[in-house]
């Protein structure tokens, strides 16, 4: 069962598309019930790889990872964007999103984080009409649902 309504999912996809308009960067959101690793950042790295996000030409993918039932969150960027943004960018972005989560404003928190990531991507990886293509799907990806308890 998705924690998002169809409208909320559409709103997040719209935020991703808006953030990607003026950049070659790529943003994804991945949701799953539980984080199967002790650290959500480790799981985010696994999902990042599974989604092929490391295959972007400029290594400028960004993943927002949410384990919604266990209330865990991570944001991770590929090598290209990591090298460009300020050292505290990911932590500041994570805290901004978590602040909204604490107020139970989950979609708004993700939208704000996506917007921040998009601003940095536009700054360091501007859109080039001659070469840019949407390298990754903009849809929300989902982990396998947790099996029901007996």
Residue 91 belongs to what domain range?
6-142
With respect to residue 59, please indicate whether it lies within any of the assigned structural domains: yes
CATH, residue 21: 3.10.310.50
pLDDT score for 2: 72
The structural domain count of the chain equals 1
* Secondary structure of the chain as H, E, C letters: CCCCCHHHHHHHHHHHHHHHCCECCEEEEEEECCCCCCCHHHHHHHHHHHCCHHHCCCCCEEEEEEECCCCEEEEEECHHHHHHCCCCHHHHHHHHHHHHHHCCCHHHHHHHHHHHHHHHHHHHCECCCCCCCCCCCCCCEECCCCCCCC
pTM of the model: 0.91
Q: pLDDT value at position 138?
A: 76
Q: Please indicate, yes or no, if residue 149 is contained in any of the structural domains.
A: no
> Residue 24 falls within a domain, yes or no?
yes
pLDDT at 128: 75
The answer to whether residue 148 is domain-embedded is no
Counting as low any pLDDT under 70, the low residues of the chain are: 1, 129-137, 145-150
């Amino acid at each position: 069962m998705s924690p998002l309504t169809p409208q909320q999912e559409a709103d997040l996809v719209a935020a991703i598309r808006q953030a990607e308009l003026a950049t070659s960067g790529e943003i994804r959101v991945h949701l799953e019930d539980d984080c199967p690793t002790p650290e959500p950042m480790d799981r985010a790295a696994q999902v990042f790889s599974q989604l092929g996000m490391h295959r972007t030409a400029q290594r400028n993918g960004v993943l927002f990872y949410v384990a919604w039932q266990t209330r865990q969150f991570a944001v991770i960027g590929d090598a290209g964007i990591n090298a460009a943004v300020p050292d505290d960018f990911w932590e500041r972005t994570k805290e901004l999103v978590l602040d909204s989560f604490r107020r139970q404003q989950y979609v708004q928190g993700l939208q704000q984080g996506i917007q921040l990531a998009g601003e940095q991507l536009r700054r360091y990886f501007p859109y080039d009409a001659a070469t840019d293509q949407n390298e990754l799907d903009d849809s929300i990806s989902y982990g396998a649902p947790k099996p029901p308890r007996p």
